[in-house]
Amino acid sequence: MEILAAEDIEIGTDLFPPLSPLASSLYESFLSSHCSSCFSLLPPSPPHSLYCSATCSLTDSFTNFPEFPPEITPILPSDIRTALRLLNSTGVDTSSSPHRLNGLLTNHHLLMADSSFSLAIHHAASFIATVLRSNRKNTELEEAAICSVLTNAVEVQDSNGLALGIALYDSRFSWINHSCSPNSCYRFVNNTTSYHDDLAYPITIPHVTNTETLSNLELQEHVRTVGYGPKVIARSIKRIKSGEEITVSYIDLLQPTGLRQSDLWLKYRFMCNCGRCAASPPAYVDSVLEGVLVLKPEETTVDYHHGTTNKDEAVAKMTDYIQEAIDDFLSDNIDPKTCFEKIESVLHHGIQFKADSQPHCLQLHACHYVALNAYITLATAYRIRSIDSETGIVFDMSRISAAYSFFLACASHLLFSAEPCLAISAANFWKNAGESLLDLASKFPLERSVESDVKCTKCLILGTPNSNRDIKEKSRQILSCVTDISQVIWSFLTRGCPYLQKFRSPVDFSLTRINGERKESIKDQTVNVLLLSFHCVLYADLLADLCYGEKSHLVS
Ligand SMILES: C[S@@+](CC[C@H](N)C(=O)[O-])C[C@H]1O[C@@H](n2cnc3c(N)ncnc32)[C@H](O)[C@@H]1O
């Protein structure tokens, strides 16, 4: 099944009203902090409650969970809880075939063909049948429920991108297929957001032939209007023609083709054949995400190598080394200082190798996917150090954290310019850059007195609600100001940071050393940091508005 556009759809259009889930579950670690029904944060008291209100407790179709047997691994407890809630709800069609449950694909045959999965599914199905006291002769239905959760459930994130749990939606959402260059994205809305159900929405779903399922859909509609659980909305991020297929992404799109393909195979058991995956030569974004630079020490020229094989070993070595440092940092095993020294050293020095009997230096492209992950880690590591540190270096740590956040935002811009579906990642990175720069501005001794001077007369009008310039024109204006400000401020932001200093400009990643730092007063530095922060937030808002239909609320 698939979903097709019933009419031409403009960019930034919500495709259907917010849908409540058929079933959902928090991940284990959020069970005591969030409401098991609506996923909102629980009040601190009373303690040990699973729900935020009596209504939420009433709308949960299954509340008594016994302990899960260990044999269900690699299936997660949240998958089982969702399957149990689905089977216990009034809307489930118990006469479904193993291949579809309430119209939702189960991929039963594919999942059962994998020996490690099939055993786990079998154990999980027997466990569910026991819990539900099923008197059916076999566990086909329970297996179908688990498989449909594995195939269709999506991870629910809060407004900060924190993954709280999973939710399973009806065919209006679950029939949307994946593309690595999707034309739509989805987001979750909280229960207080009001929408008009009588609005016309530009997609229709093909008729479900099974009348049982239709009446189930009506039942689900009732639960939907009661409105429990985290609601989902899909929104177009590209112009879509009538009859064109609606697609979203099931995975992280800031990965090169091979990694995306293996992610999709591991999680969904299919090989993606979308335009981006099938492109030959690879799409620009993918060649950059895997790109390496070859620097010949005696020459100033730089070769760009994409997808070469003779340097694979060197790239793998560098990638493993950086990834190890990132993993150590994320697992709290390592002091942030050790982490950033290790990562910066590889980013900066790259790796030496011999080609044509001459020594060359190999470096990851500034937008290599491992480098992007390294910047995220470094921005966090420096920020942590700025909080933990002795007073003397707080400012410097905060400054370098802001430099990495901004560099990452610029990298995401380059990728987004070539692939519009990366708008969501870009919006998040620009928002983080704005926040980091604002944090840095707060550490200047002069901040309060100069705050009122910080206005960009060119861009101020862009943020007003009735500004009728289109998104391209607004982006162009904001980015032109960002380029100007960063020319002045980049050498200050990157002081003492040899890797970032390699780049003359973070906007185009040109690799020319900075010739000394511009001399500016503290007041000018403060104004420029605040101005840059303002523009980052403005740009993040523009992108967030496109993808989510709402501002990031950083600028009031
Ligand atoms: C959420 S469902 C999408 C709707 C599904 N096509 C259906 O018939 O109900 C996810 C499953 O659809 C299939 N699918 C989604 N996107 C695909 C793609 N780009 N190529 C091949 N199969 C895809 C895979 O079997 C995947 O596990």
Q: Which two tokens stand for residue 451?
A: 């705050």
**Per-domain residue ranges for the chain?**
4-248, 283-388, 406-556
pLDDT of residue 461: 65
Burial of 400 (0-12, 13-18, 19+ CB in 10 A): buried
pLDDT of residue 184: 95
For 277-310, what is each residue's pLDDT tens digit? 999 999 999 999 998 887 765 544 555 555 555 6
pLDDT band at 218 (very low <50, low <70, confident <90, very high): low
pLDDT of residue 422: 94
| Closest residue by CA, ligand 1 atom 19 | 178
**Calpha distance 255→277 (Å, rounded):** 11
Q: Is the dihedral of CA 100, 104, 106, 107 positive or negative?
A: positive
| Closest residue by CA, ligand 1 atom 12 | 177
Q: Which residues contact 236 (CB under 8 A, 6 or more apart)?
A: 9, 10, 11, 12, 13, 15, 183, 184, 246
Cβ proximity of 237 and 420 under 8 Å = yes
Start-end of H helices in 18-95? 54-59, 77-88
**Mutation pick for ligand 1 pocket among 105, 154, 257, 267 (CB with most ligand atoms within 8 Å):** 105
Average pLDDT value for the chain: 82
Pocket of ligand 1 (CB under 6 A): 1-2, 105, 107, 151-152, 174-175, 177-179, 268-270, 272, 274
Higher-confidence residue: 517 or 487?
487
Distances from the Cα of 208 to the Cαs of 100, 101, 146, in angstroms? 11, 12, 22
**Calpha distance 343→325 (Å, rounded):** 7
Considering only CA atoms, which of 81, 208, 206, 219 is closest in space to residue 145? Answer: 81
**Mutation pick for ligand 1 pocket among 178, 232, 253, 273 (CB with most ligand atoms within 8 Å):** 178
The torsion angles phi and psi of 185, rounded to 5 degrees, stand at: -135, 175
**Calpha distance 165→24 (Å, rounded):** 8
**Ligand 1 atom at minimum distance from 269 CA:** 27
Instruction: Read off the pTM.
Output: 0.85
Question: Residue 190 pLDDT > 70, yes or no?
Answer: no
| Closest residue by CA, ligand 1 atom 14 | 177
Question: Residue 206 pLDDT > 50, yes or no?
Answer: no
Omega of the bond leading into 18 within 30 degrees of 0 (cis) = no
For 313-344, what is each residue's pLDDT tens digit? 888 888 999 998 898 888 876 777 788 888 99
What spacing in Å lies between the alpha carbon of 246 and ligand 1's midpoint? 12
ipTM over 0.90: yes
User: For 350-369, what is the mean pLDDT?
Assistant: 81
**Ligand 1 atom at minimum distance from 105 CA:** 9
pLDDT of residue 205: 45
Secondary structure letter of residue 334 according to DSSP? S
pLDDT of residue 246: 96
pLDDT of residue 263: 95
pLDDT of residue 114: 85
pLDDT band at 156 (very low <50, low <70, confident <90, very high): very high
Residue type at position 493: L
Distances from the Cα of 77 to the Cαs of 24, 42, 451, in angstroms? 12, 21, 50
pLDDT of residue 448: 63
The torsion angles phi and psi of 374, rounded to 5 degrees, stand at: -65, -40
Residue type at position 89: S
First-to-last CA distance in the chain?
43
Secondary structure letter of residue 89 according to DSSP? S
pLDDT band at 109 (very low <50, low <70, confident <90, very high): very high
Considering only CA atoms, which of 463, 464, 484, 498 is closest in space to residue 531? Answer: 484
Longest dimension (CA), the chain: 81
| Closest residue by CA, ligand 1 atom 6 | 1
Question: Residue 195 pLDDT > 50, yes or no?
Answer: no
| Closest residue by CA, ligand 1 atom 22 | 270
**Calpha distance 502→15 (Å, rounded):** 45
